[in-house]
Structure 1
Amino acid sequence: MQTKLLQKIGVVFINGAGLESRIWSKVVEGLEHPILLVDFPLRKGTVDARSRLSMEDYVMHIKRQVDEWGIHKLVLVAHSLGGVLALKLAAQLTDRLAGFVAVGAAIPKNGGSFLSVLPFPKRMIMSAILRTLGTKPPESAIRAGLCHDLSPDHTAEITKGFIPEAIRVYMDRIGVSSPNVPRLYVKLTNDKELSPSLQDHMISNLSPQFVRSLETGHLPMLSDPDGLRVILEDFMENVR
């Protein structure tokens, strides 16, 4: 069984800002592919230690986990801020990449950053907030943006466990374009964090061959893990 799994295409899951890899745990149950849930650097370290990290530090930390995994061909599945990391990572894995999935993800144009995908007024406001107040939103904002359609238990888990990221992961620019592999964008039609209209711009930037929709908020891996798993399973039929 293990040998058969090693011959299959693997799936690498990259979470969004403030979250941990276990957020995908319900989605990956039953997926008949090797699975890697990657962690961001210094997750157990101090806020001060993480604050010095760059976008490149995040990407290289993820790439080391992928390289140590032992699976050659892989699909990247990225959520939210993880879309920016996944694009940069994909450019370093061109000989191994079999597919790319963006789940309500930020997809900047070549030379852009996470902040660059936001409309101009919101971009300026968020830039000022990040520089003055840091990268952990108030609990009220987390509840309204990330958790508005989640259960009380999931909401409590997200608000209490939110981990501030390095500011540069939002601001560093990436000089890469969409990877030349099968691409899927999963649009979240009830998302209050990355609005459906803004996701339409992300879809335009990614130019995916496939677009699927889920009627969820920003965290479908918690609110509809079965629906997201079905979409991923369907997509995996299109990659080789």
Structure 2
Amino acid sequence: MSTSRDPIMFLSGAGLPAWIWDDVRRDLGEGQQTCVASRPQSGRARLRDYAQAVIDSAPPGGYVIVAHSAGGVIGAEVARLAPERVSAFLAISAVIPQPGGSFISAMPAPNRWALSAAMRIAGTRPPDSAIRRGLTRGLNEEVANRIIADFTPESPALYRDRTAHRSWSGWRGYLRTTDDHQLPMTLQQRCAQRLDATWQNDLNTGHLPMLEDHQAVAAAITRFLTARP
């Protein structure tokens, strides 16, 4: 289905397992090489460690980044650290900070202050009820239960560390999710502007479109790659 000659590297959102991309990867077809980025195992990993884990787990040569949610922060850092390796960047309901910014700084006030305080008190794993109410909204109960069971807390530095100041000027796109209760449309639009995304599109899903409508996500990835100059 995909027209990309470069492998596609998927970056999951914070706490989310690699299997969330299984259906999308299958829909893209056997002719499209895909992989899911590794994450550092240490609870004290820095943002640069997250980015380096992506670079180390990538196939040789260039690759396309498809980043979801907090994976956008990691992807942005990868694109700045290894710009010659990243041939295109598609953000899916992803947080994109300004160069030199962080996940938390990308949030509007007062959300950023509330998020920072909540992490200091409760850590980076939301309560099951919050995951069910927000992150897994729109999914059936079986999939929601699986997400909750497999959710892994991230290092606080993923949210607090600032990205490098260097910018990246490759082919960029942003796929918005219009029924998203985790990342409102106004924030997604702001992130698309920060990414300077030339290609933009919408999906009528919640925050996990790869599980709610995997065929639409695969089709959007293909459209993004086909539109690349």
Same topology, TM > 0.5: yes
Q: How do 1:24-39 and structure 2 match up within 5 A?
A: 24-31=21-28, 32-39=31-38
Q: Secondary structure at the match of 1:26?
A: helix
Matched, 1:206 2:195: yes
Q: Residues of 2 paired with 1:145 and 1:33: CA distance?
A: 32
Aligned to 2:46: 54
Unaligned runs of 5+ in 1: 43-49
| Aligned Cα root-mean-square deviation (Å) | 1.6
177 and 148 in structure 1: CA distance in 2 versus 1, 3 angstrom threshold: farther
Q: Secondary structure at the match of 2:145?
A: helix
Q: Secondary structure at the match of 1:83?
A: helix
Alpha-carbon distance, 1:177 to partner? 5.6
1:135 to 91, 104, 124: 124
Contact 2:27 2:215 (C-alpha < 8 Å) held by counterparts: no
Aligned to 2:66: 77
Aligned to 2:220: 231
204 and 27 in structure 1: CA distance in 2 versus 1, 3 angstrom threshold: same
Identity %: 34
Q: Which amino acid aligns with 1:39?
A: S
Q: Residues of 1 paired with 2:155 and 2:86: CA distance?
A: 27
Q: Which amino acid aligns with 2:16?
A: L
Q: Which amino acid aligns with 2:56?
A: R
**Matched pairs, number:** 225
Contact 2:37 2:53 (C-alpha < 8 Å) held by counterparts: no
Q: Residues of 1 paired with 2:143 and 2:27: CA distance?
A: 22
Q: Residues of 2 paired with 1:126 and 1:95: CA distance?
A: 34
1:183-235 CA-to-partner distances (Å, cap 9, x unmatched) read 11000000000111111111111111111000000000000100000010111
RCO higher in structure (CA 8 A, sep ≥6): 2
Aligned to 1:64: 56
Q: Which amino acid aligns with 2:55?
A: K
Moved over 6 A (4+): none
Q: Which amino acid aligns with 2:91?
A: A
Q: How do 1:139-150 and structure 2 match up within 5 A?
A: 139-150=128-139
Q: How do 1:79-228 and structure 2 match up within 5 A?
A: 79-176=68-165, 179-228=168-217
Unaligned runs of 5+ in 2: none
Q: Secondary structure at the match of 1:160?
A: helix
Q: Residues of 1 paired with 2:24 and 2:6: CA distance?
A: 17
Q: Which amino acid aligns with 1:174?
A: T
TM-score by length of 2: 0.94
Q: Residues of 2 paired with 1:117 and 1:123: CA distance?
A: 8
TM-score by length of 1: 0.89
Alpha-carbon distance, 1:39 to partner? 2.0
Q: Residues of 2 paired with 1:199 and 1:128: CA distance?
A: 23
Q: Residues of 1 paired with 2:191 and 2:204: CA distance?
A: 17
Q: Which amino acid aligns with 1:102?
A: A
Contact 1:54 1:166 (C-alpha < 8 Å) held by counterparts: yes
Q: Residues of 2 paired with 1:60 and 1:93: CA distance?
A: 9
Q: Residues of 1 paired with 2:47 and 2:63: CA distance?
A: 22
Q: Secondary structure at the match of 2:179?
A: coil
